[in-house]
Structure 1
């Protein structure tokens, strides 16, 4: 990553830190910026999901699009894949071709079914008892070249610093509440998935696809669609609880 590009990215993420009220909002902006930046270098559209790990529990907390959230959620539901491996080893993990790599056959089969052909997991250091990772998804093989991977590493270094800054701005209690809020919104999405599964007698993957499609068609955040689904079932606002 050139000094100029690095400087531009640093300024953008600092502005993002200053312009967002919560860590969760920052993560949404981070995923969109990371996807846009790497897409520019790769010359093709790349999606980005953000996975948060607290006390050995991982969860998708943000995505550059509803599709990115869905693809990242596949890995979380299976409990294995390049992003989770990146969190475990604290190194970047490349899945260059979902059709030929032998490591995660079930995960790769599901990615292929959704048009994703390669992925790259990039760890971010937050500190304390939390870590995060960027999960990049590409529609073709050969996208994550050595140059693109190098750019991803440079971006991750800057993003990690910005995320640490975002986390440190509030008090320790505020930090915990922000990270927990991200987890709780994911819990509401999982609950809404269960409702859709029961109503349509379909699989979790199909239910997630339905929610994602509604989110995309309405141009509405997936968590808001989930909240509406749950509200329609109970007739009142739903509050989810996640204990780390």
Structure 2
């Protein structure tokens, strides 16, 4: 998609932002980001999101197996444009992969695999590094100023959506943990004739002595109770 007016671009990005916010989990959000990037960034033929796990670069929701191959190559070399975008907090633009000299081992292999150009945008909110959005073109010079402008806007929307998805996931996990602990506490109160405070104290002490997280202990108590009911 090329030649969008600023009004049209704002509408497209707005629609994409709504779509990303409608996703129920981080993986679905990532898929929307990648699909949207290919659809609206001029010159983008392939796309993916890179995350750093330890010293490795891991590809998420790649649009093509080639994207996975390129991330794995950067992991093995411990260098490349996506690694720089992630570690150095900046946008990387390779206009002609065959002439790229900053990462010669990576660029030589990428050019041989049919990659002509690249854009890599860091995904971040404040100081939190979320990953990198990587866009690939099959020919040199396909990414212009409009590509950079649209890609940076999309990366900003994507960063906010990812933070939102992570926060919602954490909230759901916390809510689930709270419910499990409350249910287990109620079981102990009934079974051991304990007060609310006594039941919770017993769970905390057992958790500490057995080196088991409180929520895991709670779920174990619930599972044991369900098993006894099934045997009855």
TM-score bucket (shorter structure): 0.5 to 0.7
- Deviation track 1:104-156 (CA, whole Å, cap 9, x = no partner) reads 11111110121001111100115676421111111111111122112211111
Unaligned runs of 5+ in 2: 175-232
Moved more, 46-55 or 96-105: 46-55
The 1-side partners of 2:99 and 2:19 are apart by 41
Partner residue of 1:16?
Answer: 20
Partner residue of 2:211?
Answer: none
The 1-side partners of 2:173 and 2:45 are apart by 32
Residue 59 of structure 1 aligns to a residue whose secondary structure is strand
Partner residue of 1:26?
Answer: 29
Partner residue of 2:150?
Answer: 151
When the two structures are superposed, what TM-score results if normalisation uses the length of structure 1?
Answer: 0.61
1:123 aligned to 2:122?
A: yes
Residue 63 of structure 1 aligns to a residue whose secondary structure is coil
State whether residues 49 and 134 of structure 2, in contact with CA within 8 Å, keep that contact through their aligned partners in structure 1. Answer: yes
State whether residues 57 and 72 of structure 2, in contact with CA within 8 Å, keep that contact through their aligned partners in structure 1. Answer: no
Aligned CA-pair RMSD: 2.5
State whether residues 49 and 131 of structure 2, in contact with CA within 8 Å, keep that contact through their aligned partners in structure 1. Answer: yes
State whether residues 124 and 159 of structure 1, in contact with CA within 8 Å, keep that contact through their aligned partners in structure 2. Answer: yes
Aligned residues: 170
Residue 99 of structure 2 aligns to a residue whose secondary structure is coil
Residue 120 of structure 1 aligns to a residue whose secondary structure is strand
When the two structures are superposed, what TM-score results if normalisation uses the length of structure 2?
Answer: 0.64
- Cα distance change, pair 53–7 in 1 and its aligned pair in 2 (3 A): farther
Unaligned runs of 5+ in 1: 176-244
Residue 79 of structure 2 aligns to a residue whose secondary structure is coil
Larger Rg belongs to: 2
The 2-side partners of 1:26 and 1:126 are apart by 16
State whether residues 54 and 130 of structure 1, in contact with CA within 8 Å, keep that contact through their aligned partners in structure 2. Answer: no
- Deviation track 1:135-187 (CA, whole Å, cap 9, x = no partner) reads 11111111111221122111111221222222221226849xxxxxxxxxxxx
- Cα distance change, pair 17–111 in 1 and its aligned pair in 2 (3 A): same
State whether residues 97 and 141 of structure 1, in contact with CA within 8 Å, keep that contact through their aligned partners in structure 2. Answer: yes
Match of 1:2 among 2, 6, 21: 6
State whether residues 54 and 129 of structure 1, in contact with CA within 8 Å, keep that contact through their aligned partners in structure 2. Answer: no
The 2-side partners of 1:3 and 1:161 are apart by 21
Equivalent positions of 1:60-209 (< 5 A) are 60-126=59-125, 130-171=129-170, 174=173
Residue 96 of structure 2 aligns to a residue whose secondary structure is coil
Structure 1 residue 74: deviation in Å? 2.4
Structure 1 residue 55: deviation in Å? 6.0
- Cα distance change, pair 157–16 in 1 and its aligned pair in 2 (3 A): closer
The 2-side partners of 1:117 and 1:158 are apart by 26
State whether residues 99 and 108 of structure 1, in contact with CA within 8 Å, keep that contact through their aligned partners in structure 2. Answer: yes
Partner residue of 1:192?
Answer: none
Structure 1 residue 36: deviation in Å? 1.8
